Amino acid sequence: MIQDLSYERLLETSKRVNWRLEDIIGDDKPMDFSKPFLPESFARTAPLDFLTRTERLKLNQIRAFGYLAMFELVERCILPIIEDLAPSKPGQDPHRRPALVQFAAEEAKHIELFVRFRRAFVETFDVSCGFIGPAEDIGAAIRAHSQLGLALFVLGIEWSTQRHYVESVLDDEELDPQFKSLLKHHWLEESQHAKLDALVFYELAARASSEQIDQAVEDFLDIGAFLDGGLAEQVQLDLASLEEAIGRTLSVVERGAFVQNQHQAMRWTFLGSVMTNEGFLKAVEQVSPDGRARLESVAPAFC
């Protein structure tokens, strides 16, 4: 795949697919709160049969809020990583730096997109939903890993948005068109980032020892485990938001079922959907077939 990629071509495509925030969100494009926002494959509310249909819809929307907040958090964490990688050395491809600068500018725009969606959500939704943080501390803990591990993490995040878009568009005609549009437009640019980040990952891997490559895979898994701890906390916040939104308290048994089901749903959304993504795994395999096997051996816990 690497021979098909060049910074020049990726930069050109990036400029072509680039969209403006005002085309995606604004007062003339409200979200429709009578519809679900997240695809059921990610929200997984159907098994919670102790919730009414309306209550499951509320949960879907609470999860969508968490989705926006999580992407905002992750992209805030990623931005300094890209900015660190952008300066290019003499002799490197002259299009490398402009392509990475464009990449960083798009991530900054995505952060603003998520902020605006989140604001629009808060203005209409019945209760204020909690979210884990502070984002700066989570970002700093993630960025404490090796540069190659971080490049792998960024690559995984880029690829995750593909599945979010494909599953929302292909499976689900019920979803709010505004949220679908968010998923679609995000993926349009992320699909270029995934290719660009693959180039950076290959470039760093070419200079790394096999121990450093093994370490990068372990760093990726370590970041995943760290985020998984955050997801467990987020499930408790979502439970509190749901109980407030539906005006009733769940029983102990129902809460237990909620926590188990929703933690696994979030694991799939943010971790499993990455670790089973063929595009991502192919990029890992190109550098380390053992690394791919390692990720595939861990993935079922997050599916």
Residues at the interface with Fe ion (CB under 5 A):
110, 158, 190, 193
Taking the complex as a whole, the smallest distance from the CB of residue 110 to Fe ion amounts, in Å, to 4
Cα–Cα distances (Å) from 256 to 149, 224, 251, 270, 302, in that order, read 35, 23, 9, 21, 18
Distance in Å, CB of 297 to Fe ion, minimum:
27
Least distance between Fe ion and beta carbon 74 (Å): 8
- For Fe ion, the closer of residues 100 and 231 by Cβ is 100
Closest CA to 220 of 135, 303, 292: 292
Smallest Cα–Cα separation from 186: which of 302, 30, 63, 72?
72
Task: For the CB of residue 161, give the shortest distance to Fe ion in the complex, in Å.
Answer: 7
**Closer to Fe ion at the Cβ: 194 or 287?**
194
- Amino acid, single-letter form, for residue 89: K
Q: Cα–Cα–Cα angle for 272, 276, 277, nearest 5°?
A: 110
3 state DSSP class of 184: helix
Beta carbon nearer to Fe ion, 37 or 153: 153
Q: What is the DSSP string of 208-246?
A: S-HHHHHHHHHHHHHHHHHHHHHHHHHHHHHHHHHHHHH
Measured from the CB of residue 162, what is the shortest distance to Fe ion in angstroms? 11
Task: Between 67 and 125, name the residue whose CB sits nearer to Fe ion.
Answer: 67
Q: Which amino acid would we find at residue 151?
A: A
Q: How far is the CB of 301 from Fe ion (least distance, A)?
A: 25
Q: Which CB, 20 or 207, lies closer to Fe ion?
A: 20
Q: What is the DSSP letter of 172?
A: -
* Identity of the residue, 57 or 81, whose beta carbon is nearer to Fe ion in the bound complex: 81
Complete DSSP assignment for 67-130: HHHHHHHHHHHHHHHHHHH----TTS-TTHHHHHHHHHHHHHHHHHHHHHHHHHHHHHSSSPPP
